[in-house]
Structure 1
């Protein structure tokens, strides 16, 4: 009888165990931790999507300069709204640098008279430097958020979230361009 009672008790514990609240060793998410996770996942930590560092890795300056044709079969110059990977990376570098300077209370670069400047000032000769600077400013963003207190994070949360979303949006464009170009390795995360 004791064995039967012990088996029933053990079975009940096993069945009810999933219903008990889990004791997590993970700290509760905070606004800062969520924003940092978003910045990291759009920079260099692959999670649900490909981060920018992976999206631009291994491109030559020539590949970074390639602009897909406006429409299939058209071989003349692309429409002005079409961009190369390099142009998109330069655009991200510009706006991340601008927003980070403002976040840190530093003097930001002068605002362009037209947003097209933030794409069109890309120079293929400086592609390796653009890649390095983009990685550096994204790292600096993470460090600045990590070092900030909760009040500063709360006051700037919308901007930080928009930076992450903006980076993810243009990273998606970069991958599409690389797929059109034939320079994307699907093992990197997007088939």
Structure 2
């Protein structure tokens, strides 16, 4: 497996392929707006806020990968959790999953030089995605709205 194939597999796992951890698609499946906005305590982020944070950074890094200038000046990471565009829950999920789909298409179209040039960022965005997917599943378990049948498919 070459680097491009490895990176593509990581994006697929984060987006829609349940492997050693559940995908973002599975983690968000069946969740309504009220459940997504629920918090266990005021100091934690809701699933809605985490999804917005993932949308923000995946969009930002995808634009960078495509060579498109972005105007974002992040002075405080906490602001990336806020829904300044006032997207509905369904719209946010749709936009986030579409961004993940665009990542896969962009990786497939890219050449080896692009992958090697952005290898570190590509790896970190996937680690970042996996970390927050785990948070989403944990929060859903705390709130009692996680389907235990939606577990992982660990195969060797």
TM-score, normalised with respect to structure 1: 0.76
Per-residue deviation, residues 79-124 of structure 1 (Å, max 9, x unmatched)? 2xx1101100000000000000010011225133311111122688
Residues 55 and 148 of structure 1, relative CA distance in 2, 3 Å threshold: same
The match for 1:88 among 47, 50, 56 is: 50
**Does residue 136 of the first structure (1) align with residue 108 of the second (2)?**
no
Aligned to 1:21: none
Q: Distance in 2 between matches of 1:161 and 1:115?
A: 19
Q: Distance in 2 between matches of 1:178 and 1:162?
A: 24
The match for 1:54 among 26, 34, 40 is: 26
Show the 5 A alignment for 1:1-191: 29-69=1-41, 78-79=42-43, 82-121=44-83, 126-189=88-151
Q: Distance in 1 between matches of 2:38 and 2:112?
A: 43
Give the number of the structure with larger relative contact order, counting CA–CA contacts within 8 Å between residues 6 or more apart: 2
Structure 2 unpaired stretches of 5+:
none
TM-score, normalised with respect to structure 2: 0.92
Q: CA deviation at 1:56?
A: 0.7
Q: Distance in 2 between matches of 1:84 and 1:148?
A: 35
Q: What is the CA RMSD across the aligned residues, in angstroms?
A: 1.5
Q: Distance in 2 between matches of 1:34 and 1:155?
A: 15
Q: CA deviation at 1:125?
A: 6.1
Query: Where has structure 1 moved over 3 Å in runs of 4 or more?
Result: 122-125
